[in-house]
Amino acid sequence: MFRFDSVYFDGSVRPARVLCCFAITIFLVAGASSVSATDPLARDASWTVPDVDQMEMRVRASLDQMGVKPGEIDAVAKDFTDAVRRDDADALEAFIAALDDMLPIVDRLVGLLRTDPVAAASELDPGTSTYASLEAMPRPMRMSIRTWLGRELVRERLYDEALPVIAEVDPTESIDPSAALFYRAVCYQALLMKKEALRDLRVLLENEDQMPRRYSRTAKLMIADIKPMKKDSLDEISRLMTDVTRRLDLGRSGERVKEREQEIIDKLTKLIEKAEEEQKRQQQQQQQ
């Protein structure tokens, strides 16, 4: 089975099945390229992958809406486009780096993420001043910040913290819609939210020919992994055990872990009872 719970997105891998190692290698190494230009899904895509010029326009429009001076907008836009075009930097990283010195909220999130990722996620809880500041920003700006922070939390395997951050993202208004859809799907899959994971993965693959190949290949493996999962099956129980292991690895042993453990016990008991009933039925049939 393919498990994200046992893989760090920085490239280090814990003991896991061969398929998991193979999939994550594809994800980290493969470059961006076209996969299937004739895919009919691409013609009906509900979202598009913005090019550098379109991303720059979103940055400029958002800063202008926030009342930033034209000269400062030009400087930020230049830093962003230079990083993406000349240095081939990741769009989200370039976006955050360009805004770090200008926007206090970005500077605060970057600093917290280095020292305490959980605290960084808490900054976006409703009711905090950071949340209020973020919500006051233009949609493309806040959607992109949420995408970036959600991605970084997923890389730390902090799926519970990442999901509230990235769940509200409208991918069509993010600097990197592919990342928004992919990392949100990773959260859903890790937390056994099958329906939501499949939904985001299928939307992601609408633009298979435009997104980085590492996304499309890994997304297909994720679909193949979670689609067969049935409620109250051994597969689901195994995933619950993996989730408990992840939480314990992160030093967590609170109510959520206890709830998961009880859920595992209940599902195992249900399976055992079902097996016993089936055995009794077979014995009765043999006797008859």
pTM here? 0.79
Sorting pLDDT into bands at 50, 70 and 90, what band is 81?
Answer: very high
Bigger pLDDT: 66 vs 35: 66
Helices (H), 48-176: 52-65, 70-85, 91-99, 104-115, 117-122, 129-135, 139-155, 159-167
From CA 75, how far away is CA 95, in angstroms rounded? Answer: 13
Mean per-residue pLDDT over the chain, rounded: 85
Confidence at residue 88, expressed as pLDDT on a 0 to 100 scale: 86
User: How far, CA to CA in Å, does 101 sit from each of 52, 74, 79, 96, 106?
Assistant: 21, 14, 12, 9, 8
Confidence at residue 72, expressed as pLDDT on a 0 to 100 scale: 95
Phi-psi group of 3: left, alpha or beta (phi > 0 → left; psi -120 to 50 → alpha; rest → beta): beta
From CA 277, how far away is CA 234, in angstroms rounded? Answer: 17
Confidence at residue 68, expressed as pLDDT on a 0 to 100 scale: 94
230-276 confidence digits (pLDDT tens): 988 999 999 999 999 999 998 888 888 898 899 899 989 988 888 88
Task: Answer whether 58's CB lies under 8 Å from 71's CB.
Answer: no
- The total number of residues shown for the chain amounts to 288
Task: Answer whether 174's CB lies under 8 Å from 147's CB.
Answer: yes
Confidence at residue 5, expressed as pLDDT on a 0 to 100 scale: 44
Q: Name beta bridge partners: 7.
A: 13
Task: Answer whether 206's CB lies under 8 Å from 42's CB.
Answer: yes
For residue 112, which of 126, 103, 122 has the smallest C-alpha distance? Answer: 122
3-state helix, strand, coil in the chain (%, to 5): 70, 0, 30
Confidence at residue 44, expressed as pLDDT on a 0 to 100 scale: 67
pLDDT score of 31 more than 80: no
| Long-range Cβ contact pairs of 85-88 (< 8 A, separation 24 or more) | 85/52
Confidence at residue 277, expressed as pLDDT on a 0 to 100 scale: 87
For residue 59, which of 139, 170, 178, 166 has the smallest C-alpha distance? Answer: 139
Sorting pLDDT into bands at 50, 70 and 90, what band is 19?
Answer: very low
Confidence at residue 196, expressed as pLDDT on a 0 to 100 scale: 97
Confidence at residue 278, expressed as pLDDT on a 0 to 100 scale: 85
